[in-house]
Amino acid sequence: MSDSSPLPPVRLPAEAELARDALATPLLSRAARLARWAGPGTRVGAGGELVEEQLPAAAAELGLTDDEDGAAYANEAWRIAVDTGLVEIVDEEEGTVAVGEELAALTSGGPADVLGLWLGALDTVLADASVPDLEDLVDAMEEGGEIDFSQLDWDPEAESEFLEGVLGNLYLLTVTEGGAGDGPIPLPALAASMIVPDDMGEPTDDILEQVSDAMMRLDDQFRLLDPVGLVEFQPVDEALMAAADEPVADPADSIDESDVSRYGMVRLTPLGLYGVRARMLEAGVDAPAVGDLVDKGADVLLGATSTFPQAAAQAEIEQWLARREPLAAARELLAAARGADEGAPLRRLRCQQALSLVGPEAEPALREVLDDAELGGLARVWLAEHGAADVPAPSEDLVFWLTVDTIAAQLSLEGNSDELQALVEGLAAQHSGFFSAAWRVEHPATADVLEAMGRLHPDKKVAKEARKAAFKARSAQG
């Protein structure tokens, strides 16, 4: 997320479903169990941690007696309980505790209350994930019991920014159309996205070593983030740990799927997408979600979805339409689609997409704009597709205007795509006098469209005709 381009919208489950997911996460569910277990005899240390002699009982309460890491899991869950307010320290000197006010939110609160508590737990875990591991801390311990931070080569702010950047990249890879989607991402590829410069061809040995180091750090961090439900993580194969000092294979190389999975695989859960987005919004990042526009006007809907990937735009439009009567929605959409500004063609394309989802109840709205210079063409298309009777034939001027408008929209949406090139070739082949008529079309984008056709058409003679027509159009526009 190194540039400022807008993020694609994320599709999230309903808050109620996300809240159920949050309650089911190992870490929060364990924290809640320990909060209910705590009583008058529970004692904590100066930092709010359970005293060591009570850890076995806490582990037993969680059903972790036979787990060699049971005490550590209990300690971690207890810390979450304290940090989120599920447990409150009553007397620091005596080390006594009581059930916190927030515990009731897990049973009687709404989805937003539950998700708020989960986000608090996530903050704690992310802070823990940015701290050096215990072995490094012990190695840096001085004789007086103080930690010599200079030995750790640890910059807390840089470490936190690195992890946030990784999660941002993981989020972007998940929500981008054509990206990973719901599938897992290989850990080497994720590490490389943070280390390897975009303009670097073959990574150097130094870069590959940095990728390997980052991959090992992420392995440790994602192991911590899995129990809070942020990610689903397949750790690095233990057999590979012995070779941790060796650089990983060039992440750009094609590696057999069974091999790359040994280096770790990670995906954001739906709850994880919610959590990362919440942190982005808190940081001032524009991270839209499908459904954000349901209470906005059609002008906002068409303007915003103009930059959305196709699937996300369709989903947003469907939710918007579900809140409105078809006829009123169609009229509002058509009114918002008007305009001669640069973004108008793409708004009209999204308007067509939206109207394709509206039933025959919308027919009066389409008939009302049949004589409109900007909307008459798309109205005729809609009416014909819905089998309407008495649809007047379009004039030649209207046909050419609609063609220019459609190509202008496709240029804004896709650029010089293969699909657009095929459309351009088809138009030139079907209409021998296309360019001699097209340059006269009174559309703000006529010259730009003809220039694009000149770039896209593979036939040099036809391309030259398009460029000449573009010159005439620009001259006519003054």
- Contacts with 416 (C-beta within 8 Å, 6 or more apart), sequence order: 452, 455, 456
- pLDDT of 319-342, one tens digit each? 999 999 999 999 999 999 999 999
pLDDT level of residue 152 (50, 70, 90 thresholds) = low
Most confident of 45-49, 131-135, 155-159: 45-49
Name which residue leads in pLDDT, 410 or 419. Answer: 410
pLDDT level of residue 3 (50, 70, 90 thresholds) = very low
Name which residue leads in pLDDT, 114 or 243. Answer: 114
Evaluate if residue 265 carries a pLDDT over 80.
Answer: yes
Evaluate if residue 311 carries a pLDDT over 80.
Answer: yes
Evaluate if residue 140 carries a pLDDT over 50.
Answer: no
- Residues 382 and 243: their CA atoms lie apart, in Å, by 63
Evaluate if residue 402 carries a pLDDT over 60.
Answer: yes
Q: What percent of the chain has pLDDT over 70?
A: 89
332-344 b/e (C-beta count within 10 Å ≥ 16 → b): bbbebbbeeeeeb
pLDDT level of residue 160 (50, 70, 90 thresholds) = confident
Q: Computed over its alpha carbons, how large is the radius of gyration of the chain?
A: 30
In the predicted model, what is the mean pLDDT of residues 58-87? Answer: 95
Shortest CA distance to 468 belongs to which of 451, 455, 456?
451
Q: What percent of the chain has pLDDT over 90?
A: 62
* pLDDT value of residue 209: 86
Shortest CA distance to 378 belongs to which of 434, 336, 415?
336
pLDDT level of residue 262 (50, 70, 90 thresholds) = confident
In the predicted model, what is the mean pLDDT of residues 435-440? Answer: 90
pLDDT level of residue 429 (50, 70, 90 thresholds) = confident
pLDDT level of residue 221 (50, 70, 90 thresholds) = very high
- pLDDT of 344-391, one tens digit each? 999 999 999 999 999 999 999 999 999 999 999 999 999 999 999 999
Evaluate if residue 142 carries a pLDDT over 70.
Answer: no
Evaluate if residue 145 carries a pLDDT over 80.
Answer: no
In the predicted model, what is the mean pLDDT of residues 191-205? Answer: 81
* pLDDT value of residue 30: 97
Shortest CA distance to 321 belongs to which of 312, 310, 306, 333?
333
* pLDDT value of residue 2: 41
Name which residue leads in pLDDT, 207 or 177. Answer: 207
* pLDDT value of residue 67: 93
- Residues 30 and 265: their CA atoms lie apart, in Å, by 25
For residue 289, which phi and psi values (nearest 5 degrees)? -130, 145
Evaluate if residue 238 carries a pLDDT over 90.
Answer: no
Evaluate if residue 112 carries a pLDDT over 70.
Answer: yes
Evaluate if residue 471 carries a pLDDT over 80.
Answer: yes
Evaluate if residue 83 carries a pLDDT over 90.
Answer: yes
* pLDDT value of residue 405: 95
- Asked whether the beta carbons of 473 and 432 are under 8 A apart, the reply is no
* pLDDT value of residue 35: 96
* pLDDT value of residue 426: 81
* pLDDT value of residue 252: 44
pTM: 0.82
